[in-house]
Structure 1
Amino acid sequence: MNPEYPIPWEARAAKKREDTLAKIPAGWRLSPADLELAAKQRDLTGPFIERFLEPEVIDIVKTDSVPLVNDIRTGKRSAVEVTKAFCKTAAVAHQINNCLLEIFFDAAIKRAEELDEYFRVNGKPVGPLHGLPISLKDQFHVKGVDTTMGYVGWIGGNMGITDPTQTHQVESQITKELLSCGAVLYCKTSVPQTLILGDTYNNVIGRTLNPHNHNLSCGGSSGGEAALMALRGSTLGVGTDIGGSVRIPAAFCGIFSLKPTPERVSYRDAANTNPGQNTYRSALGFISTSLDGCELALKSLLSTRPWLQDPAVVPIPYRQDVFDDVLSRADAGGRAKADRPLKLGILWRDGSVEPHPPIRRGMAIVAEAVKKAGHKLVDWNPPPHATAQKIHYSFLLADGARDVHDHLLLSGEPLIADLQAHFNLKDPIPLLEYQDLTIQGLAYEQAYSDYWNSMSGDDGQEVDAIIMPVAPHAAVIPGRWYHLGYTEVINLLNYSAAVIPVTKADRGVDGVDGTYRPVNEVDRANWESCEFFAGGFVVRLELTMRF
């Protein structure tokens, strides 16, 4: 035994897994036969998970966020019955797909009882999220609950804090704001070790897979959130995004997400990897089973005026007038008003890695729909995304992985295999090199903005938003990630982005294009993997705005 680590990291992780499962009520635990059946199942969503749920539970969890809030607000449903339904579904989801790092169902039900009593006495809700169960990525601190963020060394505490007087006492600002709006918090979802990975695997609970196809990745780093939602164990969750972390899981698991501009919503007192790197900050974002859910979350949190408690938040309230103005430019069916159509750019490819046929087809479907609705569409050919990706990636590794290794040393756990090529300990970037990278990043932002402005063209109309792929493929086999350029560029630009549904890949329609010739080795690896990823997965596209 290593004297530095009297308890091996493997034993600590195993104990954590046991403790988590023990928090699931006995009546909600699946039998060994049920678990074996789930292990052999390709698609865990819909009919499969519903076999373990009562009809009344299914009816609740198949309802999206806004209708649920309205049902509770009008007295059609109680906060307790809604909370119990999502707690049970989340419990089943975790047992069949390993997606939760923290469970606190008892506290959630008690909170729901208090909300129901408040509503009974006062005849009004606590706030805009009254009674709605909301899941949290395991970066956000809840008093009395672990935050491991996928590190074994954080088990039993939060943020690696070893001072017993501080353990479990930290609460993230976003947690406080959600509670002030009436939300019910009930679980925290899994993440990859370090957070910097488009997959979800850690040494605490292992791998979370795609509920639609258990052979594939759920994405990352907010992968536990997306997997839970695909199984209807949540309708609204909070994640973070520094390179695609709320967008990639949404794209892989068939749901919606919103990455606001950094500093739009509070990151105060949340855990993070290498928090001192704030030149290109991680953004807090939302994942939901509906687009309305993302809107509800942003509007609710901004109503708390988060900038009063977090000086990093820009003091801009929810701009309902801007929202209404955009909607007014189309009728209820999305058709353009003759005098003010939307003008959208469309980026078909980033020039580094070609999208697979299903993504191409999804782009074509959107392009045709936009034109048919009478809106303007222009091809988008901005400054090379490869430049932005190179700069952004350099910032992610600026500390030479020192922060990551400091946390690994708390338990002696190793780097997971998928990270060993990139996160081995190195010397940090020298200050002058760091400053030069900052200048390069600013120059790229300016060049991109200049290009955007230049696209006003002869009509003098500014481009409202850009349509582009989230990734050059649908969900991948774990470990088969080759290119993050489609999402990383948006983080370097600090733009906002939403992920929306388009269609599903279809092996019978989306055959391999034998005419395409890859332009580089990464493109070749991605293209040669095309036939493995073509069958039946959701194709989603990113809608990017610069505010």
Structure 2
Amino acid sequence: MEISQSWEARAAAKRADTLEKIPEGWRLSPADLARAKSQRDLTGAFIEQFLTLGEIAITTKDSIDLVNEIREKQLTAVQVTTAFCKRAAVAHQVNNCLHEIFFTRALTRAAQLDAHLATTNSPVGPLHGLPISLKDQFHVKGVDTTMGYIGWIGRNLGVTDPAQTHHIESQLTTELLSVGAVLYCKTSLPQTLLFGETKNNIIGETLNPHNQHLSCGGSSGGEGALLALGGSNLGVGTDIGGSVRIPAAFNGVFALKPTPERLSYRDVANTNPGQNTYRSTVGFLSTSLGGLELGLRAVLGTKPWVRDPAVVPIPFRGEVAGEYRRSALNFGVLWADHAVGPHPPVLRGLREVVEALRQAGHKVVDWEPPLQATAKRIHFSFLFADGAHDVHSHLTLSGEPLLPDLEGSFKLGDPIPLAEYQDLTLQGLDYERAYSDYWNSTAAADGQVVDAVIMPVAPHAAVIPGKYYHTAYTEVINLMNYSAAVIPVTKANKTVDVVDASYQPVSEVDRMNWDAYDPDIYHGAPVGVQLVARKFEEEKILAIAGVAMEALKAFRNK
């Protein structure tokens, strides 16, 4: 393919076009931008200095309160959308977290929803008037989907027919619109998607709003960063190796990773989409647990399995919540995976959750499942099964290079032979069965099987860019397609989370991870943990996450 313009020029033009879509009155001065670069923490007071009190009041409400107030006509969809568009615009200018901006369309949509409510006195659906952000894998008609590739600027990733450019819409996009959502922006992600940080050759790097020394995570990193800055309170991402859970934990927000076949991936852009032995899954990030449930309940209410045969026909099961709010639950806790031990802030977060649950009357036992290193090896092999040919096909469209961080992982090579692929599939099934057998065995002691497992999301709180060495804590959950939720717990504290001089690394990667821990650099980084249930137990894990949050609240109030 002949490339008429350098990739650098195309990227620069795209960046300029995105900024041009921000209304002039919302643009920050060069002095403000310079202050933002020197600021450690961009959240809370820093970003709110650029907003009115009314805008702050709206953007700090949770999703459920907003849809209720719009339905009761205490707020209009236009007021809410305007506030979130402005806050997202400021967030992008200080934190580089958006790929696509379509505020004008969003405000037109909000006005239509207000008119509908005024005329019929009935909302369009359970998300009526709620602004929702999307990771830049979801197609929205009339808007680019670059997925971080320069070669797809001006069109949609995966659309080869020029006549179809900007006409494709992801099924999930259609479903969100059908229940009243307002879509207004798409968020940044890393080149290739398969990276625990967020950087690409279009917009550069998205850092952690709580601590700009650290990464916001990936691959739904822009979503995590935007929520941390209050530019959204409910967003949609994807997860094949931790890509919803990692940004949630790193940015101090909530997340839900469902089993892949629970929500529709139809017409969603993806890396190596033909690899579906271990599928990527659509998930939600939110500033509240209620927001996660609201999003899941609303989308499942559209019966996505009718339009996408890959989705299992399971409606939202509201009765499950009551079942798991009983007086005594049984938790397992994975303190470490015998490959890379967590840093002090993560261990403190785990201890706090465990102690809170125990004081609330729940049982917590140590969790020693089959080695996660086995699952990591198998899962990693599938992610790179095509020899990186899909990635390089997209790079070739513009001539852009791989990011230096990715050169080692994405060297072009031969795809895995079919016999090896099939053998890996059998190894994955063997691991899944062994893990399930271990889980079932936990009932032997007292007849009560473990309800959910508490474990780290990563061995660090956020991560110093370039030092994300170990992703097994999330990948093992993808290998088994389990349901998982992330809850924020605490923040790294340089006074409390001191270096443990007695720690003895168990491997070279463990040593590298431990050497990267610096209490001063990590200070202020959010710490989240993941709660894990088995397949298709999304309602259960949301209910259990609520139990954990209530226990933490009671624990801190003592």
TM-score bucket of the superposed structures, by smaller chain: over 0.9
CA distance in 2, matches of 1:360, 1:302: 36
The whole-number CA distance in structure 2 between the counterparts of 1:479 and 1:349 is: 22
Partner Cα separation in structure 2 for residue 126 and residue 6 of structure 1: 46
Tell me by how many angstroms 1:535 deviates: 1.3
User: How far 1:42 sits from its partner (Å)?
Assistant: 1.3
Query: What is the CA distance between 1:219 and its match in structure 2?
Result: 0.3
In 1, the alpha carbon distance for the partners of 2:466 and 2:445 equals: 46
CA distance in 2, matches of 1:312, 1:52: 45
Q: Counterpart in 2 of 1:543?
A: 531
Rounded to whole Å, the distance in 1 between the matches of 2:345 and 2:305 is 42
Tell me the SS of whatever aligns to 1:509.
coil
AA aligned to 1:545 is A
Q: How does 1:114-513 map to 2 (within 5 A)?
A: 114-327=112-325, 329=326, 336=327, 341-513=328-500
Distance 1:26 1:536 in 2: 33
Change (3 A) 1:447 1:38: same
What does the per-residue CA deviation read over 1:46-75, in whole Å, with 9 as the maximum and x for residues that have no partner?
Answer: 111111111111110011111111110111
1:332 aligned residue: none
Gaps of 5+ in 2: 536-558
**Distance in 1 (alpha carbons) for counterparts of 2:123 and 2:463:** 43
Counterpart for residue 102 of structure 2: 104
C-alpha deviations, 1:243-282, integer Å up to 9, x for none?
0001111111111100011110000000000000000000
- Offset from partner CA, 1:358-402 (integer Å, 9 cap, x none): 111111111111111111111100000000000000000000000
- Work out the CA distance in 1 between the residues paired with 2:67 and 2:444: 44
Between the aligned partners of 1:422 and 1:545, the Cα distance in structure 2 is 31
Q: Is contact 1:137-1:189 (8 Å) kept?
A: yes
Contact 1:350 1:384 in 2 (8 A): yes
Give the CA deviation at 1:160. 4.5
Cα distance between partner residues in 1 of 2:342 and 2:30: 41
Q: Is the 8 A contact 2:238 2:244 kept in 1?
A: yes
Mapped contact 2:254–2:287 kept (Cα < 8 A): yes
Q: Deviation at 1:205?
A: 0.8
Aligned partner letter, 1:373:
A
What is the CA deviation profile of residues 17-63 of structure 1, one whole-angstrom value per residue up to 9, with x for unaligned ones? 11111111111111111111111111111111111111111110011
For 1:498 and 1:274, how far apart are their aligned partners in 2? 26
Q: Residues 88-146 of structure 1, C-alpha deviation per residue, up to 9 Å, x if partnerless?
A: 00011101111000000000000000000000000011000000000000000000000
| Partner Cα separation in structure 1 for residue 243 and residue 509 of structure 2 | 21
CA distance in 1, matches of 2:158, 2:489: 41
SS at match of 1:101: strand
Amino acid at match of 2:31: A
Determine if the alignment matches structure 1 residue 527 to structure 2 residue 514. yes
SS of the residue corresponding to residue 162 of structure 2 reads coil
Matched-pair contact (CA < 8 Å) for 1:49–1:93: yes
Contact 2:158 2:269 in 1 (8 A): no
Return the alpha-carbon distance in structure 2 between the equivalents of residues 469 and 383 of structure 1: 16
**Superposition deviation, residue 458 in structure 1:** 2.8
Secondary structure of 2:164's partner? coil
- Aligned residue pairs: how many? 534
For the 8 Å contact 1:229–1:289, the answer to whether it is kept is yes
1:60 alignment partner, SS class: helix
Once residues 319 and 199 of structure 1 are traced to their aligned partners in structure 2, the CA distance between those partners, rounded to angstroms, is 34
Query: Secondary structure of 2:285's match?
Result: strand
CA RMSD of aligned residues (A): 0.9
Flag as ranges the 4+ runs of structure 1 deviating above 6 A. none
Does the CA contact (< 8 Å) of 1:104 and 1:187 recur in 2? yes
SS at match of 2:232: coil
Q: Is the 8 A contact 1:45 1:231 kept in 2?
A: yes
- CA contact under 8 A between 2:259 and 2:481: conserved in structure 1? yes
The 2-side partners of 1:307 and 1:160 are apart by 23
> Which deviations, in whole Å up to 9, do the C-alpha atoms of 1:174-215 show, x marking residues without a partner?
000000110000000000001000000000111101111111
Is the partner of 1:257 in helix, strand or coil?
strand
Q: Secondary structure of the equivalent of 1:263?
A: helix
2:541 equivalent in structure 1: none
Q: Contact 1:153 / 1:160 at 8 angstroms: preserved in 2?
A: no
Among all aligned residue pairs of Structure 1 and Structure 2, give the percentage whose two residues are the same amino acid: 67
Cα pair 1:154 1:161 within 8 Å, conserved? no
- Contact 2:245/2:486 (<8 A) preserved: yes
Q: Is this contact kept in 2: 1:510–1:534, CA < 8 A?
A: no
Partner of 1:17: 15
Shift of 1:475: 1.3
TM-fit CA distance, 1:505:
1.3
The superposition leaves residues 438-488 of structure 1 with CA deviations (integer Å, 9 ceiling, x where unpaired) of 000000000000000011023111211000011111011111111001000
Mapped partners of 1:264, 1:391: distance in 2: 23
- Tell me, in whole angstroms, the C-alpha distance in 2 between the residues paired with 1:225 and 1:350: 28
Cα distance in 1 for partners of 2:280, 2:36 equals 35
Q: Distance in 2 between matches of 1:360 and 1:457?
A: 28
**1:518 corresponds to which of 505, 523, 548:** 505
1:500-532 C-alpha deviation (Å, 9 max, x unpaired)? 021111110111011111011000000111125
Residue 40 of structure 2: SS of its match in structure 1?
A: coil
Q: Which residue of 2 aligns with 1:34?
A: 32
TM-score (norm 1): 0.97
Q: State the match for 1:56 in structure 2.
A: 54
Residues in 1 aligned to 2:159 and 2:315: alpha-carbon distance in whole angstroms: 34
Aligned to 1:467, what secondary structure does the other structure show?
strand
Match of 1:73 in 2: 71
Q: CA deviation at 1:162?
A: 4.6
2:556 aligned residue: none
**SS across alignment from 1:497:** strand
Counterpart secondary structure, 1:117: helix
Q: Distance in 2 between matches of 1:82 and 1:501?
A: 25
Amino acid at match of 2:39: Q
